[in-house]
Each structure stands twice: as structure tokens, then as C-alpha cells.
Structure 1
Amino acid sequence: MDTYDILIVGAGPIGIACGLAAQKAGLSYVIAEKGCLTNSLYNYPLYMTFFSTSERLEVGGIPFVSISAKPMRPEALEYYRRVTISNHLNVRLFEPVEDIKRTGDDYTITTDKTTYKARHVIIATGFYDIPNMLNIPGEHLAKVNHYYKDPHFYAAQKVVVIGANNSSVDAALETYRKGADVTMVIREEGIGKRVKYWVKPDIENRIKEGSIKAYFHSHVKAVRENEVDILTPEGMVTIQNDFVLALTGYQPNFNFLEKVGITLSRDAKKYPTYNPDTMETNMPDVYLAGVVCGGMDTHVWFIENSRDHADKIITHIAGKMRE
């Protein structure tokens, strides 16, 4: 079995950046991805517009040209796909990593298809795969979705949207404009402060005029086939309902990190242990890159401020291999 210098877990933008940096440094590598290329971006809403400009989403110094300053999901998919294919990155798609074990000075990485050996491992798995659950009666019903894709599906339906950040606001506005009867349930006093600045006035005005109903300081307590119970400051309210979009955020795969041996903080944030100068974890020769570094603080790291993780990691690995 050949031993790679690096195995990269995850073929999102940061995993791709790590592959480009490894290739440039002349290191052998393979990228294992459990889904399609940039799997998380693929599962974003169809018409999502990025908060960042295209140049801040670039990886490997390769220009990202978009029609508008802030690209949309299809443009990002096109960019990262072309970067991957044109640079002949060694990517294995639809091949989830199941285990990573230390064997002597190297690591043995087991996927659902084969086994690899590598001297170093980079985990760039993002955070979008595991939704934060509500843990309420009825959450298991088919009408409850933790991901939102296309507003047309909800036309002429009574939709409850849980949350007040970007994904929830986009879903509320888009489904409303496709003819849905939309009710937002928000645990805070208002729309989230991190909502895109060009969208925030739109949702606030729709709520103010009554086009979209909103319950603030409120929680969904139970879901049934045709109803939803909402606990509001004035008491329990039951409304008719066809679908629930529980867009309450997502989290990294902490079980996977712990299985590898990476130490997490004992508090609710579950920060993984790593050296911010090199991105190496408490496990020797295992590195973290991208959003996964933030634990439950998934709003701290983005493509634009974590793409330099790739250069930090590859510089450190290359330096060790020269010693």
C-alpha cells in the first residue's frame, strides 16, 4: 500500500485549498469526501447569495469571476468544480471516512471503500451535516425539515420557520413570495444581527406590515400532522400548519473528532484542541482546517478567513518533512 504524505478529509472549499497547497508543495495527497464535491455548498438553498465577495471566496490564488460582486450558490459550485478539475486534484468522492488510527509513525485511514496510509491527516469536514435538534414531540414527522432547498415546494402551504438568522430569513422571504402563509418562531427579541444587511430591512418590513407573522421570545413546543404548538410570552398558541422548517443551525461531527482522539473543551462550545499557528491538534500530525475549528461557534470561521489554514498546515508539514 502506498503511503501518502497527507490525507485530507472533506472536499469543501477548504479541503480543496489544502489539496492545492499540497500539490504546489510537491507533497503526495488524497482527498476523501463522503458526498459530492463541495457537498455542503451543494445542499445550500438553490438561490442563496453569499455574504462575501467572489475574491474572498477564492482558493489557491485562482480568480473567481462572478456576475455580481456577491456570487450565488450555482456560481460557487461552478468555480470550485472547475478549480478541482482543471488542477487535477486527487479527490475520491462519495467515500466517507470511517476511522483514523495511528499505526507506528503513520495513520491508517479506513473509508467505506478502501484503506489508505498517510503520514499526516487534515480534517476539513465543515459543520453542515448535523442539524441542531429541537428535541420536541413531533420533530420526527416528515413535515419537519432541518434543511431548506427550494421555495416552490411550499407554495400555498402554511409554513412555520424556526429561527431568525440568515437561513431562516431567506426561507421565510422566499416561501412567502411563492405564496406560502409564513409564521416565524424566534426565541430572541428580534431578527438576528448577523443577517445580511440587504435582507434585514426586507424581513423586518414584511413582519411589520403583517405579511409574515412572527412570534418573538417564543418556542415551538410540539408538532402534529396539521398543527404546531408555540409557547409565547402571552401563553400557548396553536396554529394550523403544513410544514415546519427548523433552521436552528448545525454542528460539526464531534463524535468523529473524539473517535480520532482530538480533545474537545468540556463546556458547551466543544472547542477542539489545536495550535492556531500550525493548526495541528493534540494528535500528532493531525490537523484541523476551516469551520470545524470553531466547535459550536459555527459563525466564527468562514471560507474567507479560514482559507489561509491550508498554507499554515502545508508549510508546517513541509518543514517537518525536511527535518
Structure 2
Amino acid sequence: MHFDVIIIGGGPIGIACGLEAQKKGLTYLIIEKGPVVNSIFNYPTKMQFFSSSERLEIDNIPFISTEVKPKRNEALEYYRRIVTSNSLNIHLFEEVLSIEKEENFYIKTTKNNYTSSKIVIATGFYDVPNLLNIPGENLPKVTHYYKEPHYYSRQKVAVIGASNSSVDAALECWRSGAEVTLIIRGNEIGSRVKYWVRPDILNRIEEGSIKTYYNTNVTKITENAIEINTNGKLQSLKNDFVIALTGYRPNFKLLELLGVNLSNNEKKIPQYNPETMETNITGAYLAGVVCGGMETHKWFIENSRIHAKQIISNILQNK
């Protein structure tokens, strides 16, 4: 099966690219390894966006939410309805295994083989967690994703991280009856924590409801404890579960398979033309958060939805 363009990633930006391709009469296919907007589906159940609903809109399709800042379930319905009502050509639960470039792009997935004249990588960053790389990280008690607090009620839970996701997990688990310990590598709560949540977590820390260790790293995880290092001081804390929310990274393996150049430093920023979003590989484009490499905080739905028009416009010019 040959297409004018294949879009890898069925998140909001991948969907936006599909909509734009459809409007311009291109044959296209969106390939998504999970359900529609897989990353949002994997967000915590009660998660509320930092952005207001109009900033999450794509293709000028209104997003109406009960509050100014929508919640996960509202976003799932919004993007799902866009896919359905526009009859987008999207294959779900199909993972890309390899990409080769000759005259065309050759894409092999878990279900089929395809060719395309152009390709768009819109895979986001939520699929690959940043690992701690310490003994015990692969124990069943450890997770790098947090869904809801009920599971952790009346348990000793260590939450690792200082971001929005870490703070939300710590507060929700504590309110559900968990004994929460917050482990933070730096000396304060993250600067980008939602402004309406920051006072809550700081008050819980100050009153001692959530025990917090700053300037601390977890060095080992065992069945019944975690070992930590606070400025050279070693301690062992009793523990039932570890929620390690230490951030995520783009699928660099996929970019490397394609041959996209990455910056020669820890940021791993891929090479692309910011006017067209085309990479150093002719006909291969980047869209959304994947453009930022390890700087995942720089791109959001609201400032990368424009990528769809940039990419499809350039594809039409070079068709």
C-alpha cells in the first residue's frame, strides 16, 4: 500500500497532520501503536491540563470543557470525536518496527508493510521513561507511570520527582490514605508545577504530612525498602511501592533508524528546518514535542499544532 504521506503517531499533532493532508487531497495514513491519543490515555485519570481548552484545539474545531482548563476525559472525547467525525485514515494498535529510505520510504509494522513518498514523525515523548538505572528498578513494585491513587491506599509509597506529575501523584496518594515520601533530586519543588497546586504541596510538606527529602537520590530498591543518598548521607526507608516519575524522552531509536541527525550533546535535539519541519532526510518531517529532543518542556499542543500546516504546505510544494 502506497501513500503520499505516512504519519507515525496518533496524538493531537499527528491527528492535525492527518486532517491537513485530508483537506489538501493527499493520500495519507496515521499509524498509532496504541489507542487514539495514546499518551493522553496514559495520563493520570484525574489529570487537568495546564492549558485552557482553546489552546488544545486543532484545525479550529471548538473544544468545549466544563472548566477553563479541561481534564483528561474531556480531551480524550474531543480528539476521539475529531477522528471519528472526519473519518480519518488511522490504524490503531499497530507499531512501527522499521523505516528504510530509498526512492520512497518503506515502513514495516507489526501488522503490515507500506511505502510512502513522505513521512511525518509525530511520536511525542511519553512512551519512553527516563530510567534511574539502579538496582531493583525492575521490581514489580516500581512503576514509571501513575494512573490513580486507590491502589496505594495504606501503603508506604515513595514518589520520585519534583514535576507536576510527581506532585499530583504525591497529593492524590496521600489523600487516599497512603504514607507518602517524596524524593527530590534538587533543592525545591519544580518551577513549572501548576500554580494552583504549588501551595497545596508546600503546605503538606511544611506540616509533615508528606515527608520530603531534597537533594536526594534513590540508590537502590529492594522488596521492602529503598536506599537513598542525601548529600552523602545514606539511609534505608521502609517501602511498599515506588512511583518513579523522572520524566520521559522521545523515541530516539526511531529517529536513528530513519537517519535523522541528533545534536552531539545531552539535549539530543534532532536536525530540522523550522520553516518546513523537514529533517536532514529529504521527505522526512518532524511534528510536535519530538522536535525538542530531551527538552520536552519546550513544545506543547498549543505551540506545535502549526506544524501540520507547515509540513503539508511543503509537501504540496515538492510533490
Counterpart residue identity of residue 206, structure 1? R
Aligned to 1:46: 45
Distance in 2 (alpha carbons) for counterparts of 1:234 and 1:68: 46
**1:89-100 alignment to 2 at 5 Å?**
89-100=88-99
Residue 233 of structure 1, CA deviation: 2.8
Distance in 2 (alpha carbons) for counterparts of 1:107 and 1:136: 39
Residue 234 of structure 1, CA deviation: 6.6
Contact kept? 2:250, 2:294, Cα under 8 Å? yes
Match of 1:204 among 192, 202, 205: 202
Distance in 2 (alpha carbons) for counterparts of 1:150 and 1:271: 33
SS of residue in 2 equivalent to 1:305 = helix
**1:190-269 alignment to 2 at 5 Å?**
190-233=188-231, 235-269=233-267
Counterpart residue identity of residue 71, structure 1? P
Distance in 1 (alpha carbons) for counterparts of 2:201 and 2:304: 30
Distance in 1 (alpha carbons) for counterparts of 2:277 and 2:106: 20
Residue 179 of structure 1, CA deviation: 0.3
Match of 1:188 among 186, 189, 192: 186
Residue 253 of structure 1, CA deviation: 1.0
Aligned to 1:290: 288
**Structure 1, residues 197-232: CA drift from partner, whole Å, max 9, x if none?**
000110001000100000001111111111111111
Contact kept? 2:100, 2:257, Cα under 8 Å? no
Gaps of 5+ in 1: none
Distance in 1 (alpha carbons) for counterparts of 2:112 and 2:243: 37
Aligned to 1:102: 101
**1:108-123 alignment to 2 at 5 Å?**
108-123=106-121
**Structure 1, residues 296-319: CA drift from partner, whole Å, max 9, x if none?**
011110111111010110111111
Is 2:303 the counterpart of 1:305?
yes
SS of residue in 2 equivalent to 1:169 = helix
SS of residue in 2 equivalent to 1:161 = strand
Aligned to 1:174: 172
Distance in 1 (alpha carbons) for counterparts of 2:207 and 2:110: 52
Identical pairs, percent: 60
What TM-score results when the alignment is normalised by the length of structure 1? 0.97
Distance in 2 (alpha carbons) for counterparts of 1:16 and 1:208: 44
**Structure 1, residues 225-264: CA drift from partner, whole Å, max 9, x if none?**
1111111137112111100000000001111100111111
**1:261-280 alignment to 2 at 5 Å?**
261-280=259-278
SS of residue in 2 equivalent to 1:248 = coil
Distance in 2 (alpha carbons) for counterparts of 1:49 and 1:259: 35
Number of matched pairs: 319
Distance in 2 (alpha carbons) for counterparts of 1:233 and 1:203: 23
Gaps of 5+ in 2: none
Residue 270 of structure 1, CA deviation: 0.5
**1:23-38 alignment to 2 at 5 Å?**
23-38=22-37
Q: Cα RMSD over matched residues?
A: 0.8
Counterpart residue identity of residue 153, structure 1? Y
Distance in 2 (alpha carbons) for counterparts of 1:271 and 1:233: 32
Counterpart residue identity of residue 44, structure 2? P
Which stretch of structure 1 is more off in the superposition, 43-52 or 95-104?
95-104
Counterpart residue identity of residue 59, structure 1? I
Is 2:5 the counterpart of 1:17?
no
Distance in 1 (alpha carbons) for counterparts of 2:124 and 2:107: 19
Aligned to 2:148: 150
Distance in 1 (alpha carbons) for counterparts of 2:257 and 2:23: 31
